[in-house]
A and B are shown apart, each in its own frame.
Chain A
Amino acid sequence: GQQVMQIPQYQHVQEGEDFTTYCNSSTTLSNIQWYKQRPGGHPVFLIQLVKSGEVKKQKRLTFQFGEAKKNSSLHITATQTTDVGTYFCAGRWGAQKLVFGQGTRLTINP
């Protein structure tokens, strides 16, 4: 079946440093979604990207969808302790169900 590969699996940063996680698909996606799961919590939807080359921002978070719609990234500028958690991308091909990546766990040293 279709898969989205997400890297890195883990990332530890100092508070104030930037963070980026990447998702890749071998085939063209219809859309990609991003979710955040706080420690001990459940995944919460952050954003959906649909258009080729789309860039969306939420405060310090920047989401990009590649021109070929095969990759996406989430970049956090100047991380804060509230950014701790696991970030998942989830891709869709046509009308198929969403497929989640394995997630990137972000830990922050205050």
Chain B
Amino acid sequence: SQTIHQWPATLVQPVGSPLSLECTVEGTSNPNLYWYRQAAGRGLQLLFYSVGIGQISSEVPQNLSASRPQDRQFILSSKKLLLSDSGFYLCAWSGVAGGRTDTQYFGPGTRLTVL
């Protein structure tokens, strides 16, 4: 069966510090991968998605970046965090878009607080 891991679970970082959040998927090959951000009490904002190694699409211009160095690894980074980067970061994977396997499966999330 497939599983998705995210770490860390919680993170408190000062403004201006770097960020690296990691997401890994097990039990599937060539998944579509997604990074979402959710502000407190709000909806899901799609940040990045990837259909393959090294292929990243950005949805929202900001000071965040994403990379996919391996098939089942997705990393969210920032060189300098802003207060507005605080939120709940969710990684998700899915099968081929439009196919029967396009359900998105979410990881447990990372709760980031920037002070």
Contact = CB atoms under 8 A, between A and B. Distances in A.
A95 B109 contact: no
B77 interface: no
Contacts, number: 50
Contacts of B109: 42
Given A42-B106, A45-B104, A95 B43 contact: no
Interface stretch (B13-21, B61-69, B79-87, B94-102): B94-102
Contact of B102 (A35, A42, A92): A92
B52 interface: no
B43 A90 contact: no
Given A30-B98, A94-B98, A45 B105 contact: yes
B97 A97 contact: yes
B6 to A, nearest CB: 9
Contact of B98 (A35, A41, A95): A95
A105 B41 contact: yes
A96 B103 contact: no
A48 B43 contact: no
Given A100-B43, A103-B43, A43 B94 contact: no
Given A98-B102, A100-B43, A42 B90 contact: yes
Nearest to B111: A40
A68 interface: no
A97 B41 CA distance: 24
